[in-house]
A and B are shown apart, each in its own frame.
Chain A
Amino acid sequence: MSAAARAVDVWKVYGSGEAQVIALRGVNLEVERGKFTAIMGPSGSGKSTLMHCLAGLDSVTRGEVAVGDTRVTGLSDAGLTRLRREKVGFIFQQFNLLPTLTAEENITLPLAISGRKPDKAWYDTVIQTVGLGDRLGHRPSQLSGGQQQRVACARALVSRPEVIFADEPTGNLDSRSGADILGFLRRSVSEFGQTIVMVTHDANAASYADRVIFLADGRIVDEIENPTAEAVLDKIKSLDTLAVSEDRVEVAE
């Protein structure tokens, strides 16, 4: 079976000349279907960039990206729109919801946009999983940050996309609410076979994943399968020393 998403020798360069920033330097990645993949790395290492490229939100400078069996690179706007409707779901760090819609309307928005009816049983399951039963009629302004992120999760899940991309979904939450969200994501992978790619800074968050990818300076530098929080922390430390020693080398030169 093919990967849920794939990056082949992906380069991403922003700007040109003096202001040129190389955000990704030849990234190769296969996101396994039905797995929970976390992407970690220091700030500015290219995590968000990689995720955006994988999701077709951003174009790559070189290389190729595919979601399922759809080649993302080179898709027209209409093609990208179809991709977003049918194959990917998003959870952003914040501002996930339309303030004019109720929680329920926000959840069903992707389906409504593509003119699909929610599968009643699946919808109920999702609502139950994220535990929003009594809040469905509320507007985002009447929900707490944690509740808003749960709505965002439900929205991503309800259309059963090929992959859900989440960029620091717990970044703005306290640890309790964050743990709740991570719990849902974990369950949706384990129980429903959903594929999820999540960017995070938090070793604890990464420990919910099946696999952690480490990015540094636009390159995949390491990865761990079935991580624990301690293992992730250790890895980060060792990567930091590596970076520091690289710095020393540069200084020595």
Chain B
Amino acid sequence: MSTTLLQMRGIVKTFPGVRALDGVDLEVRTGEVHCLLGQNGAGKSTLIKVLAGAQRPDEGTIEWCGDKVSLRGPAAAMKLGIATIYQELDLVDGLSVAENIFLGHEPTTVGFARRTEMRGNARRLLERLGHGEIDPAQEVGELSSASKQLVSMARALSLDARLIVMDEPSAVLAHDEISGLFRVIEELTRQGIAIVYISHRLDEIREIGDRITVLKDGRTVAEDLPAASTATDRVVSLMTGRSMVSAFPERKSGSAPENQNELLRVADLSRTGEFEDISFTVRGGEIVGIAGLVGSGRSEILQTVYGARKPRTGEVELEGKRLPPGNVRAAVRAGMGLAPEERKSQALVPYESIAHNVSLAALGRYARLGWVNRPGEQAAAEEVTTALRLQPSDTKQPVRVLSGGNQQKAVVARWLLTDCRVLLLDEPTRGVDVGAKAEIYALVRELADSGVGVLLVSSEIPEVLGLSDRVLVLREGRIVRESPADEIDEAEVLDLFIEGSAA
């Protein structure tokens, strides 16, 4: 249908002690959406870093429009027309939208940036993406994840990119924002721009993708698969070497949770501009899911319950005892835990080892009088990371070199180690591959079965519905529906979201 734009052959990249890429081939054609699939740690992000010129391959060739090229740095890749939107967004928070879009190639007059022109151009690019509402003068740090991503995309357009690489763009987006992203992608491909799209959500691949390349353990194991017609089972077994596992664990039969006593009671919680009059309870052994769009206040609710934010009104009770508002330590002491949404900024200590990161919140359990029992700590960390199939298995590695999905596993693992009574999970499976998702679900269910109350927030509606016992649907900071999970389906939840925007 179209010509080959990019051909990578036999790419090898080693890091001290790890062979991240071990002979990868990738062929991308103009105007296609090329999906790159693989388990966590398969080498996807490393491959696109090579393509972006951010990492130099040890071996292999790269052909661009039929010519052999060597990408000596990010600038060289950009010059060819390769733009990359990284898994961990890499915008400068303190700069404005326009400054970020043109960072490194500002229109200048003798060294001075022409700011008005820059803002005008930025606005035009954002409009081309269908998001003229983003103000070019605004500081990027104040934007939502979705808007930040659009800024990255505008940046790619400003570079006249012919190939845009997107590393798990949908992981930080809500349902409606993903459709927005897909519209943008379709528009871009119509203009002949090729997209390399990485995601762990196979339904997205089917919807937007043209062809699939599958990586496993740093090697290309399948190329040129048609995205629309390849069976999911086939893709999963190529990625994992196993056949598809059933995703969600069984709920405990009958009405077991109802017999349990209330662990968490939240009453009339409000925060100005974020959410109003939130009341709900979580029983021991119960998983309560919150479904809501980004911006509906779901993460804010979790953080307020946890004491990381102070409510305007309302109270939180744990096992009948009222928690002081805005006090994380009190919440933790009372037996609460929160796995936060943003792994990089809110959860991980980059230079510390996997083991130290995983044990951080539970360190008291492995210490006596402040003295850490290191073998005990190590063993516990290894047990939980093995259960989650966290790679690499050597828990002395610094968490900073892990792939995105493996970092996420470390965040979840941290809270599985604590003996908390109530666990708040904010997007626990963001960026995690299909196989490992099932492991996380099983562990969360196991935890609930042992009497822990779980409050779950996720952008993936099937995850909320599949894992929870009871679901709260949130719209614009209010609970609009509470229902047992098996009495509500995805379409209904989506209707509830949309009703709000129609009203």
The finding on whether chains A and B are genuine partners in a shared complex, rather than unrelated, reads no
What residues of chain B have their CB less than 8 Å away from a CB belonging to chain A? none
